[in-house]
Amino acid sequence: MSLYHVQNLAVQAFRAVAQGRNLSDELSRILAAETDLTVQDKGMLQDIAYGCQRFSGSLKFMLGKLLSKPIEQPVLEAYLLVALYQLNHTRNAPHAVVNEAVNHIAKIGRGQYRSFANAVLRRFLREKDKLNAQCKYDDVARYNMPAWMQKKLSTEYPKHWHNIVTAFQSHPPLTLRVNRRHCTAERYLSLLEEAGLDGKLLDDYAVRLTQAVPVAQLPKFDEGWVSVQDFGAQQAAYLLNPQNGENILDACAAPGGKTGHLLEWADCRVTALDIDEKRLQKVRDNLDRLGFQAALHCADARDTEKWHDGVLFDAVLADVPCTASGTVKRNPDIKWLRRPDDAAKTARQQEDLLDALWQTLKPGGRMLLATCSLFEEENQLQCRRFLSRWPDAALREEKTVLPNEKQDGFYYALLDKR
The predicted structure's pLDDT at residue 110: 87
Which amino acid appears at position 385 of this protein?
R
pLDDT digits (tens, 9 = 90+) for 58-113: 999 999 999 999 999 999 999 999 999 999 999 999 999 999 999 999 999 889 99
Rounded distance between C-alpha atoms, residue 379 and residue 343, angstroms: 10
**For strand 247-251 and strand 199-203, is the pairing parallel, antiparallel, or unpaired?**
unpaired
- What's the CATH class of domain 3-142? mainly alpha
Q: Most distant CA pair in the chain: distance in Å?
A: 72
* pTM of the predicted model as reported, rounded to 2 decimal places: 0.94
Share of the chain above pLDDT 70, in %: 100
Rounded distance between C-alpha atoms, residue 151 and residue 33, angstroms: 40
Helix/strand/coil percent split, the chain, to 5:
50, 15, 35
Among 3.40.50.150, 2.40.30.10, 3.40.47.10, 3.30.450.20, name the CATH number for the domain at 231-417: 3.40.50.150
List phi, psi (to 5°) of 248: -120, 140
Domains 3-142 and 231-417 share a fold: no
Domain ranges of the chain: 3-142, 171-228, 231-417
The predicted structure's pLDDT at residue 18: 96
Share of the chain above pLDDT 90, in %: 98
Say whether 298 is catalytic: no
Catalytic residue among 52, 135, 372, 383: 372
pLDDT digits (tens, 9 = 90+) for 17-65: 999 999 999 999 999 999 999 989 999 999 999 999 999 999 999 999 9
pLDDT (average), residues 313-342: 97
The predicted structure's pLDDT at residue 360: 98
pLDDT digits (tens, 9 = 90+) for 183-218: 999 999 999 999 999 999 999 999 999 999 999 999
What number of H helices and E strands is found in the chain? 17, 11
pLDDT interval class at 2 (50, 70, 90): confident
pLDDT(1) > 60? no
Given CATH 3.30.70.1170, say whether it is the number of domain 171-228. Answer: yes
pLDDT(237) > 70? yes
